Amino acid sequence: MDELLPPLLNGTALGALLLLAALGLTLTFGQMGVINMAHGEFIMAGAFVAYVTQQVIPSSDLSIPLALPLAFVVAGFLGLLLEVTIIQWMYRRPLDTLLATVGVALILQQAALQIFPAQGVPVEKPSWLDGQIDVLGYEWPLRQVFTIVLAAACVAALAAWLKYSSFGRRIRATVQNRDLAETSGVATRSVDRITFFVGSGLAGVAGVAASLIGGTNSQMGVQYIIPAFLVVVAGGIGQIAGTVIAALAVGIAMTFFAYWTSGSLAQVLAFVLVVIFLQIRPQGLFTVRTRGLA
Amino acid sequence: MLNTSRRRVKTLLATGAIAATAALVLSGCGSRADDATAAAAGSSCIDTSGDTIKLGFLNSLTGGMAISEKTVSNVLHMAADEINADGGILGKQIEYIQEDGATDWPTFAEKTEKLLTQDCVAAIFGGWTSSSRKAVKPVVEELNGLFFYPVQYEGLEASPNIYYTGATTNQQIIPAMDFLAAEGVKTLFLAGSDYVFPRTANAIIKLYAAELGIEIVGEEYVPLDKDDWTTQVAKIAAAKPDFVFNTINGSSNVGFIKAYYDAGLTPETTPIISVSIAEEEAPAMGHEVTGNYASWNYFQSLDTPDNPKFIEDWKAYPGSSGVTSDPMEAAYISLYLYKALVEKAGSFEVDAVNAAAAEGGITFDAPEGTVTLNGDNHHISKPGHIGRINADNQFDIVWESDGFIEPDPFLDGYDWFPADVRDALVASAG
């Protein structure tokens, strides 16, 4: 148990972080088919919101909980701006959105480099996340528990919103049959915008979590974008349940590999595993046709 | 069919060769050098006819390394402004050409070639990662240019066309190990980013640890662009070493320090000694890094005659980060060292500058103290210092070497470093 428990718990926390990074993509990529390479920079924006909030309210006990909704709104508006200015002209050209958003990502990185100190900024975690809890003899850092709780809350909120709210119904209707939805009186353009707002906003929330784990700087978003897309594809595009399982599986597998081998090899092995899985099951864990959304 | 396509390839190759030759002949850079044969030998087109002398600054201003290299670029500008205000080099004002290496190693090579052949600069200053230096090296060697490299690195190199003003291993890694031995450390854990510097440094650390009777209880690497160190920190917590030797570079250090603090490891129980955390990097890690150690030659807190003015000038300089640190001080040295070399040589010509270096006796009163250039290996003497990070993210000096340490990039003077290991490391470093 001693050998298995730490990597299992650490892996779950890493999976939760991947899940937070990928959750927004299940909407913007999964539901809307937009390949948004600037998603990582929305995560960065969320992390910088955490920093700025902390500058205004120095107590990290208060500033971090407050930063979560703020980061959601700021990243959401960045997403909305991107949708209105660029993406809405490219809905039928996914490769063009890929190229355009890579450019947007670079612009956002350079903007962060100009605005904030080049070396990055400190984000202090709340004092109630100091310390560890004892799980069968392993001192599990509380911060990891926080990441898992935050991811679970976001998944639950998103799933409930899609399933039970009237807006969730409109999103699902638009995705399943845009023309029919439109003739039934659904304003599909505003559905697109709100979906993009929420998807990007979730990246902002992920950014706050990321700011407590690693550095907050202009380059931080880059490390999340590829794993996030990988998780969404492996989970089955547009499937929240699939994304949850895929994120946890990748996180736990990567951590076990890192535990047994080395940090560099772990990444390679985890990605190889996903590629093999997609060879066997190209549609991912779940598919749209067999199950409803969420 | 096959025949025609082959012929086409041949024609293409021939055209390419002709074009290349033509370009070579045409470029020739106007061969303004005094000695026409030097130009024919494929080198100098340095223009010394006017009141100015062109120098190239090559730093990553965009991309991942901009985080670190922007400061080096700024301090080079400051040094150039200072020298110009003081009358320039051999009476000529420095006219610098700033190029962006863009965190891309082929770009470093391209820009070096551009600076040497099109701009005809007398010398190039910059680079940070070993990969950028290794991209520049073959170009300056082939074109017989000069490159001044300002960052501590893994040693095992001495190019006749490169001057190294940062520490080599026997001026940073070995002093750190001496400090650990003096502290009575018995067990050590090695944590590093996965690239040439940490790998080479750790190879040297392991050999020296055996000599000092320190046991290495673990060794972990994480890719440079990954912040998550949770799993590796769990291994450190399980291994319970006396000290951790940290060769992590860049933003990944923030993730390491956070995971370390999260796991309940503290400087009281398991201190860390780093070779990449300086005054610039520490603030991004908040209070969680306080109490840990770093090994450098220069610290802002050093009490030397020339340090206060350097700090004051830098704080007042536009674009300043407000703190001074080892790599930027080494970059500051590099420009003044070049000035001293040129003035001794009485010429901007590369061969004359190198000859002046070989004669020896080039010194500069640097903020870290008076450094002396070693004419054989093109490195400089440096004092070794260990600092402890305090609550203001400055360093309290807790240990210093016995005087200045002569540079020994190939560790020839250390008998615990076997020649076959050296050859293998030199070969693998390329």
Q: Does B68 share its domain with B155?
A: yes
Q: Does B271 share its domain with B330?
A: no
Q: Does B261 share its domain with B326?
A: no
In a domain, A292, yes or no: no
What residues of B are in contact with residue A132 (Cβ under 8 Å)?
262-264
Q: Which two tokens stand for residue B271?
A: 């201190």
In a domain, B411, yes or no: no
Give CA torsion, residues A272, A276, A278, A279, to 10 deg: 140
Tell me how far apart the alpha carbons of residues A26 and A255 are, in angstroms, rounded to a whole number: 24
Q: Does B275 share its domain with B370?
A: no
Subunit contact B284:A121, Cβ cutoff 8 A: yes
Q: Does B189 share its domain with B97?
A: no
Domain span at A272: 5-280
Using DSSP's 3-state secondary structure scheme, residue A134 falls into: strand
B219, B238, B320 from A3: Cα distances, Å: 18, 10, 49
Which one of A119, A125, A255 has the shortest CB-CB distance to B231? A255
A288 vs B54: which has the higher pLDDT: B54
> How many other CB atoms are there within 10 angstroms of residue A207's CB atom?
33
For residue range A8-62, what is the model confidence (pLDDT) as tens digits?
999 999 999 999 999 999 999 988 889 999 999 999 999 999 999 999 998 889 9
Subunit contact B285:A259, Cβ cutoff 8 A: no
Which pLDDT score, from 0 to 100, does residue B33 have? 38
Tell me how far apart the alpha carbons of residues B305 and B291 are, in angstroms, rounded to a whole number: 27
Q: Does B310 share its domain with B246?
A: no
Subunit contact B194:A263, Cβ cutoff 8 A: yes
Subunit contact A139:B283, Cβ cutoff 8 A: no
Residue A113 in contact with partner chain B when CB distance is under 8 A: yes
In a domain, B377, yes or no: yes
In a domain, B363, yes or no: yes
What residues of A are in contact with residue B325 (Cβ under 8 Å)?
none
**Min Cα–Cα distance to chain B from A55, Å:** 13
Among B59, B60, B62, B67, pick the best mutation site for testing chain A contact (most A Cβ within 10 A).
B67
**Min Cα–Cα distance to chain A from B310, Å:** 21
Which pLDDT score, from 0 to 100, does residue B68 have? 85
Identify the domain boundary among B296, B321, B345: B296
In contact, B160 and B145? CB cutoff 8 Å: no
Closest CA to B228 of A294, A258, A286, A159: A258
In a domain, B153, yes or no: yes
What residues of B are in contact with residue A117 (Cβ under 8 Å)?
283-284, 321
In a domain, A287, yes or no: no
Number of domains comprising chain B: 2
Per DSSP bridges, beta strands B382-389 and B395-405 are antiparallel
In a domain, B413, yes or no: no
What residues of B are in contact with residue A110 (Cβ under 8 Å)?
62
Taking chain B (430 residues) in runs of 10, the rounded mean pLDDT of each run is 45 46 41 39 74 96 84 96 97 97 94 96 96 96 97 95 97 97 97 92 96 96 89 93 94 93 94 95 92 97 97 94 94 98 96 96 96 97 98 96 96 94 86
Subunit contact A119:B64, Cβ cutoff 8 A: no
Residue B220 in contact with partner chain A when CB distance is under 8 A: yes
Number of domains comprising chain A: 1
Identify the domain boundary among B296, B330, B353: B296
Identify the domain boundary among B278, B296, B314: B296
Q: What is the 3-state secondary structure (H, E, C) of B267-334?
A: CCCCCEEECCCCCCCHHHHHHHHCCCEEEECCCCCCCCCCHHHHHHHHHHCCCCCCCCCHHHHHHHHH
Residue B222 in contact with partner chain A when CB distance is under 8 A: yes
Subunit contact B223:A222, Cβ cutoff 8 A: no
Subunit contact B228:A214, Cβ cutoff 8 A: yes
Tell me how far apart the alpha carbons of residues A252 and A23 are, in angstroms, rounded to a whole number: 18
Subunit contact A262:B220, Cβ cutoff 8 A: yes
Q: Does B139 share its domain with B257?
A: no
Phi, psi (rounded to 5 degrees) for A99 = -65, -45
pLDDT at A293 over 50: no
In a domain, B370, yes or no: yes
Closest CA to B65 of A103, A101, A113: A113
Residue A119 in contact with partner chain B when CB distance is under 8 A: yes
Tell me how far apart the alpha carbons of residues B387 and B293 are, in angstroms, rounded to a whole number: 6
Subunit contact A218:B230, Cβ cutoff 8 A: no
Unique residue bearing structure tokens 């796991």: B263
Tell me how far apart the alpha carbons of residues B234 and A156 are, in angstroms, rounded to a whole number: 30
Q: How does the average pLDDT of chain A come out, rounded? A: 91
Tell me how far apart the alpha carbons of residues A287 and A44 are, in angstroms, rounded to a whole number: 31
CATH number of the domain that B310 lies in? 3.40.50.2300
pLDDT at A252 over 80: yes
Closest CA to A256 of A266, A243, A247, A271: A266
DSSP-derived secondary structure for B71-133? HHHHHHHHHHHHHHHTT-BTTBEEEEEEEE-TT-HHHHHHHHHHHHHTS--S-EEE--SHHHH
Tell me how far apart the alpha carbons of residues A15 and A34 are, in angstroms, rounded to a whole number: 23
Subunit contact A213:B281, Cβ cutoff 8 A: no
- In terms of CA atoms, which chain B residue is nearest residue A140? B263
Contacts of B418 (CB under 8 A, 6+ apart): B207
pLDDT at A120 over 60: yes
Bridge partners, B296 (sequence order): B385
Residue A139 in contact with partner chain B when CB distance is under 8 A: yes
Domain span at B374: 52-166+305-382
Unique residue bearing structure tokens 């150039």: B80
Q: Does B158 share its domain with B194?
A: no
In a domain, B5, yes or no: no
Subunit contact A263:B225, Cβ cutoff 8 A: no
Which one of B223, B238, B286 has the shortest CB-CB distance to A263? B223
Burial class of A57 by CB neighbour count within 10 A (0 to 12, 13 to 18, 19+): middle
Q: Does B177 share its domain with B137?
A: no
CATH number of the domain that A162 lies in? 1.10.3470
In a domain, B11, yes or no: no
Among A119, A129, A260, A267, pick the best mutation site for testing chain B contact (most B Cβ within 10 A).
A119
B28, B77, B122, B164 from B96: Cα distances, Å: 22, 8, 10, 20
In a domain, A294, yes or no: no
In a domain, A288, yes or no: no
**Min Cα–Cα distance to chain A from B232, Å:** 7
Q: Does B180 share its domain with B133?
A: no
What amino acid is encoded at B15 in this protein? T
Tell me how far apart the alpha carbons of residues B193 and B200 are, in angstroms, rounded to a whole number: 11
A·B CB contacts under 8 A: 128
Which pLDDT score, from 0 to 100, does residue B31 have? 37
Continuous segment of H or E residues that includes residue B52: strand B52-59
Residue A207 in contact with partner chain B when CB distance is under 8 A: no
Q: Does B62 share its domain with B158?
A: yes
Which pLDDT score, from 0 to 100, does residue B386 have? 98
Subunit contact B284:A14, Cβ cutoff 8 A: no
Q: Does B195 share its domain with B234?
A: yes
Bridge partners, B99 (sequence order): B58
Per DSSP bridges, beta strands B272-274 and B293-296 are parallel
Tell me how far apart the alpha carbons of residues B337 and B370 are, in angstroms, rounded to a whole number: 11
